[in-house]
């Protein structure tokens, strides 16, 4: 392999590594934000917020899988789940 091709291949791997590292950092930040939000949302507020955010979509398509899943999951949210979601991942 020529030196130029080898350098290009190494650069591609290095850029891929940096992009993966950046995405992992963004994912970690979003998990922290989600955990902090769970600490301050009680089940009633979460249910209200979920219905508010999915109301328009469900009025257009009552069988929307994602919106219905969010509403169902927010209805199952409990105080114990709030503490677990905020502290344990």
31-84 pLDDT, tens digit each: 999 888 878 888 888 889 999 999 999 999 999 999 999 999 888 877 665 555
| Joined tokens for residue 48 | 């209200």
Checking if the pLDDT of 2 tops 50, the result is yes
Considering the domain architecture, whether residues 21 and 2 belong to the same structural domain is answered as: yes
Count of domains for the chain: 2
85 domain residue, yes or no = no
Query: Which pLDDT score, from 0 to 100, does residue 61 have?
Result: 94
More confident residue, 24 or 70: 24
> Is there a domain that residue 4 lies in?
yes
Residues 46, 71, single domain; the answer is yes
Domain of 47, in residue numbers: 42-77
Q: Is residue 28 part of a domain?
A: yes
pLDDT at 89: 44
**87 in a structural domain:** no
Contact call for residues 78 and 43 (beta carbons, < 8 A): yes
Q: What is the pTM assigned to this prediction? A: 0.58
CA dihedral of 71, 73, 74, 79, whole degrees rounded to 10: 170
**DSSP classification of residue 12:** H
């Amino acid at each position: 392999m020529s030196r130029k091709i080898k350098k290009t291949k190494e650069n591609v791997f290095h850029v891929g590594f940096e992009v993966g590292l950046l995405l992992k950092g963004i994912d970690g930040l979003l998990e922290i934000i989600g955990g902090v939000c769970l600490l301050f949302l009680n089940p009633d507020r979460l249910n209200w917020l979920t219905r508010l955010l999915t109301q328009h979509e469900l009025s257009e398509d009552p069988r929307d899988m994602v919106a219905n899943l969010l509403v169902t999951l927010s209805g199952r949210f409990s105080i114990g789940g709030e503490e677990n979601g905020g502290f344990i991942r």
